[in-house]
Amino acid sequence: MSADPVVIYRLLTIFPVLVLLFQSVFANPISSEDLQFFENKIRPLLADHCYKCHAASARKVKGGLLLDRKAGWVKGGDSGKVIVPGKPEESLLILMVERDPDHEAMPPKTALGKGQVEDLREWVRRGAPDPREEKVGEAARGDDDFDLEERKQWWSLQPVEQVAVPGVKAGDWPVNEVDRFILAGLEKRGWGPAPGAGKERLLRRVSLVLTGLAPTESELESFMADESDGAYEKVVDRLLGSPRFGERWARHWMDVVRFAETKAFEADYTMPYVDRYRDYLIRAFNSDVPYDQFVLEALAGDRLEKPRLNRESGINESVIGPGYLYLTDGQHGPPDIHGDETRIFDSMIKVCGVAFQALTVNCAKCHDHKFDAITAKDYYSFYGMLRSSRLHYANIAPPEKKAEVEARLRRAKQELMADVFRAVEKEAVGIGQVLLLIEEFEKGVRFEILQQKLNLPLKKGEKQEGRLAAFVQESEEGLKALASRAGVDADLLLKWFRWKHDRNTPRELAGLKSLISGKPAAEVEAASSRGDTSNENYRFGMQSDSLGKWIASGPGFVSADTDGFLLSQGGDQLLRATIGTGVSTGTLSSRLDGVLRSPDFILDGGAVDLWVRGRHATVRLVVRNYELTGKGPTTGRLKVGVNSDGWKKISFGTHLWKGEPAFLEIQHQGSGMDCLGRNGRPPEPAEDGWVAVAVGRLPQWVRVWGEAARSKDRGKAVALIISRIAESARKGAIGPGQREVLGALLQSGLMHPDLGKHPEIRGKLELFREIAEELPRPVYVRSVVDGVATDQPVYVRGDHRNISQDANPRHFLDGLGGGQLDDGGSGRLDWAKRVASVDNPLTARVRVNRIWSRVFGRGLLASVDDFGKMGGEPSHPDLLDYLARSFTGNGWSTKQLVRRLVLARTFQMSSIPGPGMLTADPENIYLQRMPVARMDAEAIRDHILSCSGELKRDQMYGPSIAVNIDDQPNSRAKPRSGLLNGGGRRSVYMETRRNFLSSFLRAFDLPNATEPTGQRNITNVPAQSLALLNDPFVHQQSEAWAKRVMSGGGTVDEQLAKVHRQAFGREATEAELQWGRKVLKELGGATEAAWKGLCHLMINRKEFIYVF
């Protein structure tokens, strides 16, 4: 039998405790001296300073520690043992009373006197003799009254029932089953439903519920004109099919996931690409993505085997799903980065618990849930999944198209490069003679004069380049003569001559230059070497044996194309860059991007080094998944930009984060992917981005030229070497050092095939470039990827410095059946499947209830975000289950559910309460009538724009619109203020900056983007009156509306009627026309000013913002 290591470990840890118990209970009778010491010094001290919190008599025992009995300290508390008899310096209790800065100070408020501390030390030093022998069992008394089985009996955790539709007396009233449930509830109480709402009211109500916009005049007209039976149904279907539907319902979901685009705190950093998540939601609601699919995407959209591709554009939609997770707040340079992680993860756990299950999982951070079937282990199970996942900017560009083009591109490149290498091979033959001719020319007297001129000190403003050009020009005649005499390509000769005298030499060719300058072999070798770096066995360079554990995302690093030559996308230059040894992106195209991340490792406080080269890339050392790596006084140093064609060493100092887990992240296109400053969005992805990381040692060049330097005919030897390298390249057998040399030869132009003379190469190059252009440009979104699967043991009492010894394998919520997560990664996919299941008792109920509350103003369970004990019980449990069942039965279709709800007769009732109903059911829980609703903030703003005619109804998507914040105080983090009318865009497109929310929208209860909010507050405060009375936006819009009315022509009465239709979606009454005429008269006649006044009053009329 093989020994189980876990068991052995446990025995080892338990054993000493057993010994200790044995000794203390039986072996050591207390000496009278010790007894006296205890009774005189220790017992009173403990009683005075510790029993308040650490005795059985305490109102609340703190830290699970009892000090009123020996067994108490023997057992220890939540933080483990507190006394090691005989060893005060190892005893937690002593460290705490000494107020050692690394431990919690005890007693918490006032320190013990020096003498008292000394007494305690002495007592422990004596072996903590303690006469207070009680039964050990008593000490085990805890406040452990958490009973999972009992908690699981709560109604919302029971399976969704198959319920029968109830019978009703007024059988002709119901239109569908919803009505039967509602009516049955009313009849049971002896009540009857309200009569139907008028057509105009109904249209306004349903339009606002479905799209957040009031009906336009023409919509009103056509509905009023349609007297057919199906008129209302037609309207409902039109609204469900309108793109405005998605805009409205996406906004609801944005509340639930505490959507925001900035990080709050001091700098209010902008998170890039958040708007694309918003657009994803709008598309998802418009195309009615089944809710189970939506859930899978939200929790594990990056992990789906078959991601959902957008039918029109082909982009990967699924991977955008987790985009809300990291929409947390964030501060730069936290001194306690681990504590910061707990804060940020807590926000994610809270959102995920509330959004999908309406469970306050986050309440189990410090202890098992006070009321619900949620354990602290559940909380840390989710924590573990987040630890096992990493923020990732995913490229959603159509994956199928990308793969197809990539294959063609790879072939095109292979064919092209074969020709290039062949040309080099051929051309190299002549190099020997070229070098001889140059030497010959340099022997001439004229050359000597020219060279002296070349080497004179530069004059002010003069450039070496210009000097060199003149030098070459003056040499040209002589060189050409030599070339024509020898029958050698004059251009080639000139090129080499020029290069030889150019002071700028790529390091790869330094050896060659020494060689052809006739330096001795040793010098050539020295110049060819990388110096001391070439042999460096750097600490964190990727050793090839560990490379397999690194995690690559995106095609860039995954691509099998490793020829190491990066082609330029324009001009006559073939190569953009060359990679020697290493893994890289960009070898086919910058658009085939990627990110490479190391496994987690624990920082030991020493430097973390690696070698990189590339453009527009970044390397970050991400400690504890810290998103703002690269910002702040300390964490700012953990991000380095990569913008060099040559190898550069990056070295991260880590002493501040010793002991923390971290990973390295190499990001192609990393320059834009970061929390930005105050304004804007990252630049478009670079077209010439690439990045390479050295694997193992850097390539050696020394052998390449050293051989030639020893040869008699150096020219010939050089020619031979070059043609041999080209041949190996053509055959795919080139070494990394040779590759770098060949690349340098091509890039420097020395061996660059003249495209004029090689039409076949030009043709293939152009073809390659054309294909590369077909690759879709990257479109980045915020998502996550799996890192290294990691379990997270419980943080005792929520304290991250106090980690439980008990293992806590990642598992699904215990109250919902538990079970280990085993999806081969973080566990998110398994978790997602458990949530998106018809067997989950909460998912469908919670979703149906949210939708119900959006339609009827109040959930069947009023607390839409809490299905736990504190959330209470639903008003119509049967209806809730009935709808949940049919929801899942209808393929989790949101639109079908909404359709059913608004087609119900219940929804079409008037909002006038029946006689006595205000007293009988003041909160309208049983829906005897439809409630009157106040429009929410966005709808109010949109409606004002709609009336004024400035609303750009059809303009969808894209970067958010800056909010007008002229009224907000200046500060360092204040961004540019936007237009007063927001460019006429719908409010869902307004930027959500946590520190600078629109005060107009805030006045009408826009949430503060911090907490998941399933149901907004609806307040009614004077600030709203002040906003509608005096806000410059309202005045601006009143004026625009007035102009619109006046330019429309017609009589005053016609104009007044129009204004009423636009504002209230109904015809004006005679009394209102009278009122309107009076307003105009009193405000100065039918002038623009008077009309502005009238429109302003229309906006201020209560009916403008209330829905009946």
Q: 11 or 1023, CB closer to other proteins?
A: 1023
- The CA distance from 999 to 992, in Å, is 12
- The CA distance from 350 to 151, in Å, is 20
- The CA distance from 94 to 125, in Å, is 11
- How many CA atoms within 13 Å lie on the side-chain side of 424? 30
- The CA distance from 210 to 651, in Å, is 55
**Which distant-in-sequence residues (6+ apart) come within 8 Å of 406 by Cβ?**
555, 559, 588, 592, 775
Q: 833 or 943, CB closer to other proteins?
A: 943
CB environment 322-360: b (16+ within 10 A), e (fewer): bbbbbbbbbbbbbeebbebbbbbbbbbbbbbbbbbbbbb
21, 607, 779, 1079: which one contacts other proteins (CB under 8 A)?
1079
Q: 111 or 803, CB closer to other proteins?
A: 111
Kindly determine how many residues on this chain lie close enough to bind other proteins according to the rule CB under 8 A: 97
By CB under 8 A, residue 1088 contacts other proteins: no
- SS3 of 642, please? strand
By CB under 8 A, residue 31 contacts other proteins: no
Q: 228 or 1030, CB closer to other proteins?
A: 1030
Interface segment toward other proteins; rule CB under 8 A; list 243-251, 487-495, 665-673, 911-919: 911-919
The CB-of-372 to other proteins minimum distance in angstroms stands at 8
- The CA distance from 1050 to 1038, in Å, is 19
Q: Binding to other proteins (CB under 8 A): which residues in 360-389?
A: 360, 363, 371
By CB under 8 A, residue 855 contacts other proteins: no
The answer to whether the CB of 1079 falls within 8 A of the CB of 1100 is no
- The CA distance from 978 to 12, in Å, is 66
Q: Binding to other proteins (CB under 8 A): which residues in 161-220?
A: 197-198, 201
Give the single-character DSSP code of 962: P
1019, 1048, 1050, 1085: which one contacts other proteins (CB under 8 A)?
1019
Report phi then psi at 310, rounded to 5.
-65, 130
Q: 869 or 1043, CB closer to other proteins?
A: 869
Q: 470 or 1023, CB closer to other proteins?
A: 1023
By CB under 8 A, residue 61 contacts other proteins: no
Burial (CB count <10 Å: 0-12, 13-18, 19+), residue 463 = exposed
By CB under 8 A, residue 268 contacts other proteins: yes
- The CA distance from 533 to 650, in Å, is 13
By CB under 8 A, residue 1073 contacts other proteins: no
Per the rule left: phi > 0, alpha: psi between -120 and 50, beta: everything else, 826 is alpha
By CB under 8 A, residue 1083 contacts other proteins: yes
The CB-of-512 to other proteins minimum distance in angstroms stands at 48
The CB-of-1057 to other proteins minimum distance in angstroms stands at 12
The CB-of-866 to other proteins minimum distance in angstroms stands at 4
- The CA distance from 708 to 302, in Å, is 53
Reference 754, options 435, 505, 427; nearest CA is: 427
By CB under 8 A, residue 11 contacts other proteins: no
The CB-of-598 to other proteins minimum distance in angstroms stands at 26
Q: 439 or 1039, CB closer to other proteins?
A: 1039
Burial (CB count <10 Å: 0-12, 13-18, 19+), residue 976 = exposed
The answer to whether the CB of 664 falls within 8 A of the CB of 585 is no
Q: 339 or 641, CB closer to other proteins?
A: 339
Q: Binding to other proteins (CB under 8 A): which residues in 1025-1044?
A: 1025-1027, 1029-1032, 1035
Q: 109 or 169, CB closer to other proteins?
A: 109
463, 889, 1078, 1087: which one contacts other proteins (CB under 8 A)?
1078
By CB under 8 A, residue 264 contacts other proteins: yes
By CB under 8 A, residue 1093 contacts other proteins: yes
Interface segment toward other proteins; rule CB under 8 A; list 465-473, 836-844, 977-985, 1023-1031: 1023-1031
- The CA distance from 832 to 848, in Å, is 18
153, 971, 1048, 1050: which one contacts other proteins (CB under 8 A)?
971
Q: Binding to other proteins (CB under 8 A): which residues in 513-572?
A: none
Q: 363 or 509, CB closer to other proteins?
A: 363
By CB under 8 A, residue 1100 contacts other proteins: yes
**211, 683, 934, 950 from 947: Cα distances, Å:** 16, 37, 18, 8
865, 938, 942, 991: which one contacts other proteins (CB under 8 A)?
865
The CB-of-1094 to other proteins minimum distance in angstroms stands at 9
- The CA distance from 185 to 219, in Å, is 35
By CB under 8 A, residue 261 contacts other proteins: no
**153, 477, 956 from 989: Cα distances, Å:** 43, 67, 8
- The total of other beta-carbon atoms located within 10 Å of residue 776's CB is 17
- The total of other beta-carbon atoms located within 10 Å of residue 549's CB is 10
Q: 354 or 751, CB closer to other proteins?
A: 354
By CB under 8 A, residue 118 contacts other proteins: no
Cα dihedral: 715, 716, 719, 725 (round 10): -120
Q: 162 or 970, CB closer to other proteins?
A: 970
The answer to whether the CB of 592 falls within 8 A of the CB of 405 is no
- The CA distance from 551 to 601, in Å, is 13
DSSP H helical segments within 126-230, as ranges? 136-139, 148-151, 177-188, 199-211, 217-225
The answer to whether the CB of 154 falls within 8 A of the CB of 373 is yes
By CB under 8 A, residue 266 contacts other proteins: yes
Q: Binding to other proteins (CB under 8 A): which residues in 318-347?
A: 329, 331, 333-336, 343
Interface segment toward other proteins; rule CB under 8 A; list 699-707, 743-751, 1046-1054, 1094-1102: 1094-1102
Q: 221 or 966, CB closer to other proteins?
A: 966
| x-or-dash string of contact with other proteins, 643-672, rule CB under 8 A | -------------x----------------
- The total of other beta-carbon atoms located within 10 Å of residue 590's CB is 25
Reference 289, options 249, 324, 237, 327; nearest CA is: 249
Q: 629 or 888, CB closer to other proteins?
A: 629
57, 218, 452, 1017: which one contacts other proteins (CB under 8 A)?
1017
Q: 1030 or 1051, CB closer to other proteins?
A: 1030
By CB under 8 A, residue 868 contacts other proteins: yes
Report phi then psi at 168, rounded to 5.
-135, 160
Interface segment toward other proteins; rule CB under 8 A; list 28-36, 123-131, 705-713, 1065-1073: 1065-1073
Q: Binding to other proteins (CB under 8 A): which residues in 985-1014?
A: 994-996, 999, 1002-1003, 1005, 1008, 1010-1011
The CB-of-835 to other proteins minimum distance in angstroms stands at 19
Q: Binding to other proteins (CB under 8 A): which residues in 730-749?
A: none
Q: Binding to other proteins (CB under 8 A): which residues in 913-952?
A: 913, 918, 932, 934
Q: Binding to other proteins (CB under 8 A): which residues in 91-110?
A: 99-101, 105, 108-110
HEC secondary structure over 202-267: HHHHHHHHHHCCCCCHHHHHHHHHCCCCCHHHHHHHHHHHCHHHHHHHHHHHHHHCCCCCECCCCC
Q: 412 or 1056, CB closer to other proteins?
A: 1056
